[in-house]
């Protein structure tokens, strides 16, 4: 039970004051913490110690602005999941704990010309089953293709572009991916042989845990203008993909954390939590990690690109029409776990910073570095639910500049996977969802139990806070019709 102070600023913002930990040594907070929640979420925050992690992050050298947490906040490694922090490009630090192990875990939304009402439940089931055949899923799942070392290194350098150049998708797909699906800072010389070995067999696979592939129906529109710009309407069938960099990204994080633990001592950095291990920007350790992290991010973009290709093929086979005729275009692709160099207005001045988003989504407003066709309204923001719950399409805002253009990334866990398994049986959850008109095809019923909707916060409430705080504004709500769980 967390007993620290939470001072209410307004309906959607609570602050952990800078004097919470006093002024003694490494306990000193360099700034305050801000958590975006409402009154009803206070009890959940108190049960979890993630708020302490928000306070701990304030001790990072060179932190700029506040240590932030989104409404889906819960306990993580170093940073809380839902944590955001910016550090100075000149004299700040980079911390892998502010990115996480599943580097560029992200979400992609594909729209269609299909009206959900025109598809029988049998066809939904056929589509889900065909996608399950085409797209490997589950713990340790291996992709349909095995890349050579040279091919994988090309993936790590080029990201989604490699997928398109090798026949996985359309050239115009790249226009609507965050960073166009590639970080140019990638350098494979900083990726270990073990990470390469883990990655060779997994490009183009869903994985396990909270990763999923869903057929959804748009059931509510909140902003007609934005929805029209994004190409969505009520009753429309869409597909959402949620996965990341698999074992490759996990290994890259693991490898560099060991280096950073030594760097903390080397550079004389005092921290309240060893999981916040970091290195000053511009040092060999920081540069090597940033380059390797970029490789993992590119892996994830290519991974989702190949999955989109096989999703399109699945629809073509079941429905007997081409993906082009079915209008299967990507609305957008966002990443959740990443560190990026961005420019933000801080204390009235534009500054270049490293923005760490750990379980948080970028939410650029109009006129930022986003696709030209979205510049009038802001980038699409994708916030997934889980199996039986809704997912949301929102758009970024200028107001989000206060959070370094960040918003939440999902509902947020309130129960461990172990506890969830002890309370629910996957088969029973599948039956319950079936009665609600949701077909679930899992790689493992154990994972279905772990990912029970009741193990998460109410996604509607979480999104309402993000919307109310102005970090991202609601455009459309989607509900699941068919689900593949890893």
Q: What is the pLDDT of residues 103-144, one digit of tens each?
A: 999 999 999 999 999 998 899 999 999 999 999 886 666 667
Q: β-strands 236-243, 472-485: how paired?
A: unpaired
Does residue 421 register a pLDDT over 70?
A: yes
pLDDT band at 209 (very low <50, low <70, confident <90, very high): confident
- Sign for the pseudo-dihedral over CA of 222, 223, 226, 228: positive
What integer best gives the mean pLDDT of the chain?
A: 94
Query: How far is the C-alpha of 281 from the C-alpha of 95, rounded, in Å?
Result: 10
Helix (H) or strand (E) holding 181: none
Pair 73, 412: CB distance under 8 Å: yes
pLDDT band at 285 (very low <50, low <70, confident <90, very high): very high
pLDDT at 428: 87
* One-letter-per-residue 3-state SS of 101-146: CCCCCEEEEEEEEEEHHHCCHHHHHHHHHHHHHHCCCCCCCCCCCC
Longest dimension (CA), the chain: 68
**CA-to-CA separations, 390 to 178, 447, 461, in angstroms, rounded:** 23, 19, 11
- The three-class DSSP label of residue 392 is strand
CB atoms closer than 10 angstroms to residue 345: 12
Query: How far is the C-alpha of 6 from the C-alpha of 12, rounded, in Å?
Result: 12
One DSSP character per residue, 322-358 reads -TTTTT--EEEEEESSEEEEEEEEETTEEEEEEEEEE
Does residue 220 register a pLDDT over 90?
A: yes
Quick: pLDDT tens for 341-397: 999 998 888 999 999 999 999 999 998 899 999 999 999 999 999 888 999 999 999
CB atoms closer than 10 angstroms to residue 42: 14
If 0-12 CB within 10 Å is exposed, 13-18 middle and 19+ buried, where does residue 28 land?
A: middle
**CA-to-CA separations, 143 to 138, 139, 317, 322, in angstroms, rounded:** 11, 12, 20, 24
Average pLDDT over residues 309-335: 98
pLDDT at 412: 79
Average pLDDT over residues 328-333: 98
- Of 100-114, 142-156, 268-282, the least confident: 142-156
Query: How far is the C-alpha of 315 from the C-alpha of 197, rounded, in Å?
Result: 32
Query: How far is the C-alpha of 150 from the C-alpha of 168, rounded, in Å?
Result: 18
Query: How far is the C-alpha of 388 from the C-alpha of 434, rounded, in Å?
Result: 10
pLDDT at 98: 98
- Of 149-153, 155-159, 201-205, the least confident: 201-205
Query: How many degrees, rounded to 5, is the angle at CA 419 between CA 338 and CA 4?
Result: 65
CATH numbers and ranges of domains, the chain: 106-256+275-485 (3.90.1860.10)
**CA-to-CA separations, 426 to 246, 403, 430, 440, 481, in angstroms, rounded:** 23, 37, 6, 10, 18
- pTM of structure: 0.96
Specify which of 142-151, 171-180, 200-209, 347-356 reaches the highest per-range mean pLDDT: 171-180
Query: How far is the C-alpha of 272 from the C-alpha of 95, rounded, in Å?
Result: 14
pLDDT band at 263 (very low <50, low <70, confident <90, very high): very high
pLDDT at 459: 93
- Of 71-75, 161-165, 332-336, 421-425, the least confident: 421-425
Average pLDDT over residues 254-277: 96
CA 182 to chain centre: 16
Please give the backbone phi and psi of residue 470, each rounded to the nearest 5 degrees, phi first. 80, 15
pLDDT band at 24 (very low <50, low <70, confident <90, very high): low
- Sign for the pseudo-dihedral over CA of 41, 42, 46, 52: positive
Does residue 149 register a pLDDT over 60?
A: yes
Look up 409 and say whether it is catalytic.
Answer: yes
Average pLDDT over residues 161-171: 98
CB atoms closer than 10 angstroms to residue 136: 21
Query: How far is the C-alpha of 420 from the C-alpha of 450, rounded, in Å?
Result: 5
Query: How far is the C-alpha of 397 from the C-alpha of 366, rounded, in Å?
Result: 7
pLDDT at 413: 75
Pair 461, 469: CB distance under 8 Å: no
Closest CA to 234 of 249, 218, 245: 218
Query: How far is the C-alpha of 478 from the C-alpha of 212, rounded, in Å?
Result: 15
Query: Which residue among the candidates 190, 211, 336, 409 is catalytic per the annotation?
Result: 409
Query: How many degrees, rounded to 5, is the angle at CA 238 between CA 233 and CA 242?
Result: 135
Helix (H) or strand (E) holding 94: strand 93-94
Helix%, strand%, coil% for the chain, nearest 5: 40, 25, 35
Does residue 443 register a pLDDT over 90?
A: no
């Amino acid at each position: 039970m967390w007993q620290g102070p939470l001072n209410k600023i307004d309906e959607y913002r609570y602050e952990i004051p800078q004097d919470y930990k006093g002024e003694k040594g490494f306990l000193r907070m360099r700034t305050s913490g801000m958590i975006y929640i409402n009154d009803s979420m206070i009890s959940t925050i108190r049960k979890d110690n993630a708020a302490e992690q928000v306070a701990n992050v304030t001790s990072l050298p060179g932190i700029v602005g506040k240590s932030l947490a989104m409404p889906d906040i819960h306990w993580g490694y170093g940073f809380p999941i839902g944590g955001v922090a910016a550090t100075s490009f000149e004299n700040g630090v980079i911390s892998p704990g502010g990115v996480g192990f599943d580097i560029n875990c992200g979400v992609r939304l594909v729209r269609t010309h299909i009206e959900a009402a025109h598809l029988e439940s049998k066809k939904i089931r056929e589509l889900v089953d065909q996608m399950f055949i085409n797209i490997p899923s589950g713990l340790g799942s291996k992709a349909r293709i095995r890349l050579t070392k040279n091919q994988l290194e090309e993936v790590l350098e080029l990201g989604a572009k490699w997928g398109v150049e090798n026949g996985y998708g359309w050239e115009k797909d790249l226009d609507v991916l965050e960073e166009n699906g590639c970080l140019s800072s990638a350098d494979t010389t900083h990726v270990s042989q073990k990470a390469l070995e883990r990655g060779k067999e997994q490009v183009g696979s869903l994985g396990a845990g909270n990763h999923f592939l869903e057929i959804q129906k748009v059931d509510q529109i909140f902003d007609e203008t934005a929805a029209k710009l994004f190409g969505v309407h009520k009753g429309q069938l869409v597909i959402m993909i949620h996965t990341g960099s698999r074992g490759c990204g996990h290994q890259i994080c693991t490898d560099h954390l060991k280096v950073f633990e030594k760097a903390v001592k080397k550079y004389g950095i005092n921290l309240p939590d060893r999981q916040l291990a970091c290195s000053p920007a511009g040092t060999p350790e920081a540069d090597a990690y940033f380059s390797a992290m970029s490789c993992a991010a590119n892996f994830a973009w290519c991974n989702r690109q190949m999955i989109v290709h096989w999703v399109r093929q699945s629809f073509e086979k079941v429905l007997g029409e081409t993906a082009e005729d079915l209008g299967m275009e990507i609305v957008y692709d966002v990443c959740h776990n990443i560190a990026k160099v961005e420019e933000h207005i801080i204390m009235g001045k534009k500054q270049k910073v490293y923005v760490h988003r750990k379980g948080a989504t970028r939410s650029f407003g109009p006129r930022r570095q986003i696709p030209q066709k979205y510049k009038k309204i802001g980038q699409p923001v994708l916030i997934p639910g889980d199996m039986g719950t809704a997912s949301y399409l929102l758009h970024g805002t200028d107001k989000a500049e206060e959070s370094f253009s960040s918003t939440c990334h999902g509902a947020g866990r309130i129960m461990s996977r172990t506890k969830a398994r002890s309370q629910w049986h996957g088969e029973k959850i599948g039956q319950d969802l079936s009665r609600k008109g949701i077909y679930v095809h899992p790689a493992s019923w154990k994972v279905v139990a772990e990912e029970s909707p009741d193990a998460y916060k109410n996604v509607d409430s979480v999104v309402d806070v993000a919307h109310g705080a102005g970090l991202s504004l609601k455009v459309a709500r989607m509900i699941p019709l068919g689900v593949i769980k890893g």
